Structure 1
Amino acid sequence: MEQTESRLTKPEAMIFDMDGTLFMTETLLLPAYHRMFDQLREEKLYMGETPPEHVILGCLGMLLDDIWKKVIPDASEAARQRANELLLELQLEDLQKHHSKLYPGVLETLTELNKRDVKLFVASNGLEHYVKGVARAHQIFPLFEGLYSAGEYETASKVDLVKLLLDTHHIHNAWMVGDRSSDVEAGKKNGQTVIGCAYAGFGNGQELEGSDRLIADFTELLKLYDHATAD
């Protein structure tokens, strides 16, 4: 996988994807995913077997409409809409039970970056209540200046979502930190540095091609920042 080895400069802000970057999505998603399909069958909206877990995990980072087209391509629009509602409802319920997890070192690293006066944001293709619910449940919500989600702002792509964030906060130099090709695209098309997170493993081998740096552990981000040069 190719990385461009341009010299890193200290950013005024860092923009994080949520699933597969800050949050171990599978710890919340998979139990809710199986219960969701049980409920869809009970409501007679979907009568097939539950698609394999790797199918939904491989879709993480996509917009919800695109996810259901891949997971249940032959389902009705009513079934897909109900899947959206149920999955959010079940995940928000499970968040309160404290069974889900952040990646190791996320809270500590974000706290240290905050102490260094780096402005922290989230840009996610997920739903607003999900993104904010995860951040609140894991005590990282107060560390962010803004949590931007496609669900709240109705953006067509993460490129658009990140542009909106940058424009709103007048940010010129940011690091986009994420684990999917949509994060790389969002950073690069907005002229920003991209730090690819290679630890989640939800995508394929080409997923992070074009990143300026790859990290195998979230805590490496602080070292990258500390060793970056002042602009």
Structure 2
Amino acid sequence: MNSIPFAVIFDMDGTLFQTNRILGSSLERTFKVLRSEGNWQGEAPLATYKKIMGVPLKVVWETLLPNHAESIRNQADRLFLECLNQEIKEGKGQLYPNVIETLSVFKQQGIPIFIASNGLEKYLEEICTYFHLHEYLTDIYSIERSLKGSKTDLVHMLLRNYNIEEAILVGDRKSDIEAAKENGLVAVSCPFGFATVNELVEADLLIADFFELQAYVFKRISTLSF
């Protein structure tokens, strides 16, 4: 396989997709079912979920349902995915401003674009289909591809499979920075996502919008020898 000299790898939730627009209602619908079956009391733990947003779903349910049986966690996982996908189909989700414009510009310049996300394949597919992202993307790596279930391993696999020489990883959580650093990549962070205060201090670059990302990418490409 020919090598790819430079690529851009994006996280999905809190980076390209404004998950917060469908998160609360989907979580509430999920816990409404659990509540009706006597498996939950009180409000849906939205605040807790926002603190850990971006971790693998197995960790999500271990955190939100620490004292529940695995069967209940699996039920919640299934219900939540169904609710999220339904809300995406209903048009309640939204990309961040200038995402499509940025992906289009990168594609026009021949820059391979990838998604590496802790989200499940069916969920990522729903987003990409609804917003017609497939026409810009080279590939989508769901956490389900990683046997270790880690973002670092997922990105390592992507880099190896496509023989990518250099890349930047754009994300909104510390786990994205760690995945970038441990794979020798530049870590670009989006503070408009789910990050907590001081979570992104180790990023190589913080961007306020995607036009800043475009400027950075083209400046970096100008320094490379292809």
TM over 0.5: yes
Q: Pick from 27, 34, 42: which aligns with 1:33?
A: 27
CA contact (8 A) 1:122 1:147 kept: yes
* AA partner of residue 199 (structure 2): E
SS of the residue aligned with 1:24?
coil
Aligned to 2:138: 145
Q: Pick from 111, 125, 130: which aligns with 1:132?
A: 125
* AA partner of residue 93 (structure 1): Q
* AA partner of residue 209 (structure 1): V
Q: CA deviation at 1:102?
A: 0.5
**1:111-154 deviation line (CA, Å, top 9, x unaligned):** 11111111000000111100121111112122111100112444
Aligned to 1:117: 110
Q: Does residue 83 of structure 2 align to residue 90 of structure 1?
A: yes
Aligned to 1:70: 63
Aligned to 1:227: 219
**1:92-123 deviation line (CA, Å, top 9, x unaligned):** 11111111100011111111111111100000
Aligned to 1:7: none
Whole-Å separation in 2 of the counterparts to 1:109 and 1:84: 32
- When structure 1 is superposed on structure 2, of 118-127 and 92-101 the one drifting more is 92-101
Whole-Å separation in 2 of the counterparts to 1:183 and 1:129: 21
Aligned to 2:179: 186
Aligned to 2:201: 209
* AA partner of residue 98 (structure 1): G
Whole-Å separation in 1 of the counterparts to 2:223 and 2:136: 23
Whole-Å separation in 2 of the counterparts to 1:163 and 1:154: 12
Whole-Å separation in 2 of the counterparts to 1:50 and 1:113: 43
Q: CA deviation at 1:25?
A: 0.4
1:32 to 1:76, Cα distance in 2 relative to 1, 3 A: same
> TM-score under structure 2 normalisation?
0.92
Q: CA deviation at 1:227?
A: 2.3
Whole-Å separation in 2 of the counterparts to 1:54 and 1:103: 21
Q: Does residue 159 of structure 2 align to residue 166 of structure 1?
A: yes
Aligned to 1:14: 8
Whole-Å separation in 2 of the counterparts to 1:143 and 1:72: 37
* AA partner of residue 23 (structure 1): F
> TM-score under structure 1 normalisation?
0.90
1:205 to 1:91, Cα distance in 2 relative to 1, 3 A: same
Aligned to 2:37: 43
- When structure 1 is superposed on structure 2, of 119-128 and 149-158 the one drifting more is 149-158
CA contact (8 A) 1:125 1:149 kept: yes
* AA partner of residue 177 (structure 1): V
Whole-Å separation in 2 of the counterparts to 1:154 and 1:138: 29
Whole-Å separation in 1 of the counterparts to 2:44 and 2:33: 14
Q: CA deviation at 1:81?
A: 0.6
Whole-Å separation in 2 of the counterparts to 1:62 and 1:51: 18
Q: CA deviation at 1:33?
A: 0.7
Identity of aligned residues (%): 36
Whole-Å separation in 2 of the counterparts to 1:216 and 1:70: 30
Q: CA deviation at 1:68?
A: 1.4
Aligned residues, how many?
A: 219
Structure 1, unmatched stretches of 5+, are: 1-10
* AA partner of residue 40 (structure 1): L
